[in-house]
Amino acid sequence: MTLETIQPCDHDWVAPADSPEATGATASSEGGRRRPAGRGAAAAALVLAGAVGGAAVTQQLVHPSTTTTAATPATGGVAAPFAPSFGGGAVQPLDPSGGVSAGSLSGAGPANADAIAGKVDPAIVDINTTIGYQNAQAAGTGIVLTSTGEILTNNHVISGATSISVTDVGNGHTYRATVVGYDRSRDIAVLQLEGASGLATADMATEVPKVGAGVVGIGNAGGAGGTPSYAAGIITATDQTITASDSSDGSSEQLTGLLETSADIVAGDSGGPLVNAQGEVVGLDTAASAGFRFSQASQAYAIPIASALQIAHQIEAGQAGTTVHIGPTAMLGVGVEPDSTRSGGPFGGTAAAGATVASVLDNGPAAAAGISAGDTVTAIDGTAVSDASDLTSVMLQQTPGQSVTVRYLDRFGQPHTTTVTLVTGPPQ
């Protein structure tokens, strides 16, 4: 089930109570990644919270070979908007030309990967979020853009978050963070840390790395926190296009112009830096997750830093666009069914165009306006809503505190019109 303006979030990892993170177990390496002494190993299977619409749905982040764990949806909870976290099951490069397999090139990346990672670590942050309204916890990574605390990360790291705290690796301080803006379709978000100053900032590369160039992926693998882990590799292809399908609403997204790398980027690394041999950021790591699926996830992908910064600068300038959302996110307070699972209603047949409500947030704006589970939202303020993903797009254009006219069909197909005053909800 997908939640309205809040779709399942493919965040990074949340450790179960009996995981190595919770019990204090440690390891020196895992899955090709190296960890500084004293840092715990990430659990193989971590629960991730994602709820779209009304009920909170948990998902599992996976990378090459982990398992998916589901949890019982929280009753009456509204999930936060979903942002594509590109990764997980299958990765399908649409344009594999020009790429090479890691095995066809000599070397496994920079030999001094530990020194490179050590140079970059102070400009990295650990991002910890509370997801939706079921109080699930998730974690990811971010890159420090300014000394006053502007942070670049993946949108899916903060999608659905009702609270965000960020720990700066450079000074060890933890800050409350607010969302400056985000772009769901290109998986970019910018955060602002409250009260931050004097932070170390990352060095950005000015050139796109060539195929065969050595790189190091760095991040908060498994949500372990502390000194980031790292993995060396090479660039195996550039300018790649990937199609990812969102299991929450049946929609699909494309990321284009990506860097493909053999570096072992895993869940928790999302939003972290992929750096060259000089320690300059060449890309924004995008780790695998279950809700947004690729095919053939044998390689990892990163958004070129020039592309990521272009979107970040637009967000910093407060320039909203077709895909760029600035500031707080408006919420209707309903969870909607993914289009792929919609039925024709109690009497069968073909489902009406619209977003079918699966759950309603207790005491939320939709509930106050009389909208119930089983209803189908067909328009917001005169803008037609044809399906679940459509509702998300329409809601991103609204403002918290705004009153909107909602047209919907009840479960028996009878039309209704009501006025809903939107509230502030989690980022999509």
Name which of 63-67, 161-165, 290-294, 352-356 the model is least confident about: 63-67
> In terms of domains, do 270 and 382 share one?
no
Find the CATH number of the domain harbouring 416: 2.30.42.10
The pLDDT of residue 236 is: 94
The number of domains in the chain is 2
Torsion angle (degrees, nearest 10) of CA 173, 132, 218, 100: -170
The pLDDT tens digits for 338-348 are 765 555 544 45
> In terms of domains, do 80 and 192 share one?
yes
> In terms of domains, do 245 and 385 share one?
no
**Average pLDDT, integer, range 185-213:** 96
Find the domain containing 280 and state its range: 1-329
pTM: 0.78
**What is the three-class DSSP state of 119?**
helix
**What is the three-class DSSP state of 72?**
coil
Are the C-beta atoms of residues 193 and 333 closer than 8 Å to each other? Answer: no
The Cβ of residue 71 has, within 10 Å, a number of other Cβ atoms equal to: 16
Which of the listed residues 279, 307, 329 is the one where a domain comes to its end? Answer: 329
> In terms of domains, do 321 and 335 share one?
no
> In terms of domains, do 217 and 251 share one?
yes
Which of the listed residues 314, 329, 344 is the one where a domain comes to its end? Answer: 329
Please give the Cα distance from 303 to 308 (Å, whole number).
6
> In terms of domains, do 253 and 224 share one?
yes
* Higher-scoring residue by pLDDT: 103, 362: 362
Residue with tokens 């329409």: 394
> In terms of domains, do 360 and 319 share one?
no
Find the CATH number of the domain harbouring 230: 2.40.10.120
Which of the listed residues 329, 359, 394 is the one where a domain comes to its end? Answer: 329
The pLDDT tens digits for 28-71 are 344 455 655 333 333 222 222 222 222 222 222 222 222 222 22
> In terms of domains, do 421 and 296 share one?
no
> In terms of domains, do 283 and 398 share one?
no
The pLDDT of residue 298 is: 55
Residue-by-residue DSSP string for 266-311: -TT-TTPEEE-TTS-EEEEEE---SSEE-S-TTSEEEEEHHHHHHH
The pLDDT of residue 133 is: 66
> In terms of domains, do 253 and 342 share one?
no
> In terms of domains, do 289 and 146 share one?
yes
The pLDDT of residue 135 is: 73
Q: At residue 317, does pLDDT exceed 50?
A: yes
> In terms of domains, do 317 and 363 share one?
no
**pLDDT interval class at 152 (50, 70, 90):** very high
